[in-house]
Structure 1
């Protein structure tokens, strides 16, 4: 049973790393669940400090994940249409068979969203799309950074208890 929990935990942490920049997958929360599954094994001693600190960080970063792109859009003069366009453009960009679709998609999505909001002001739409894209990139980078840290925590715990787990 411990081996199954370790395997499921590892899958969750890997999904969390990919989910940090792919909105169709759960991000940091998935990574935290992976660490929790590791601590649910009988071989690994519970460390409520690690679980608590990683949980609080996950909650804070998840909240910031929603705030940062909208702040980037608002700072550059955009609307909620730009934020929605960024998210839709990201999903389309992931599946579109074009190079750098994951970067081009959010920008074009935000631009189209802003043009739907106000079709007369192209300069403001480009500025808002740039802000939305920068916010998305910053948010994704923070998520990815912490997801990799969670992966490191997971692997270090597995390494520490490798003799008991395997």
Structure 2
């Protein structure tokens, strides 16, 4: 039965990593669910205050990395808050509208549309901002992947 428990915990962690590509999936909740499920199924004993403090700091880093990477990517290419919002909406809607490539096309189109409609920028300037949103999204995914790997690694070190 212990193997089944580990498989379920592993599935929760896998869904958390899938959430990096599909932002509609709340990665952090699946990571925390894996930690809590381990506690319920095995024991909470390995999880002292230091474990929760470190994991909590990583959760804050995950949220910060997401926002900051998108903001830097868009600002570096001359975008505005409207571009950030458009990109964010595109990240959420893109995978549903265009299933495979929507995760990259969504923020690109969202940032372009926001810059064109809200700030009345030229098409070329808006495309540049759209490109920045894709760069920001990709750097965010890479950063969050590293953070989540560290979180799961630390969990495994503590429990094994």
TM normalised by structure 1 equals 0.75
CA contact (8 A) 1:9 1:36 kept: no
CA contact (8 A) 1:115 1:121 kept: yes
Q: Write out per-residue CA displacement over residues 32-72 of structure 1, whole angstroms, 9 at most, x where no aligned residue.
A: 33223323444463232333212211212212312221222
Matches of 1:114 and 1:93, distance apart in 2: 17
Matches of 2:129 and 2:98, distance apart in 1: 26
Gaps of 5+ in 1: 161-166
Partner of 1:23: 23
TM normalised by structure 2 equals 0.78
Partner of 2:35: 35
Which 4+ residue blocks in structure 1 deviate beyond 6 angstroms? 1-5
Q: How many residues align?
A: 159
What is the CA-CA distance between 1:129 and the residue it aligns to?
1.4
1:4-83 equivalence runs, <5 A: 9-43=9-43, 45-48=45-48, 49-83=50-84
Matches of 2:47 and 2:100, distance apart in 1: 44
CA contact (8 A) 1:32 1:55 kept: no
Partner of 2:136: 135
Gaps of 5+ in 2: none
Matches of 2:109 and 2:126, distance apart in 1: 10
Moved more, 131-140 or 58-67: 58-67
Moved more, 79-88 or 41-50: 41-50
The structure, 1 or 2, with the larger RCO (C-alpha pairs under 8 Å, 6+ apart) is 1
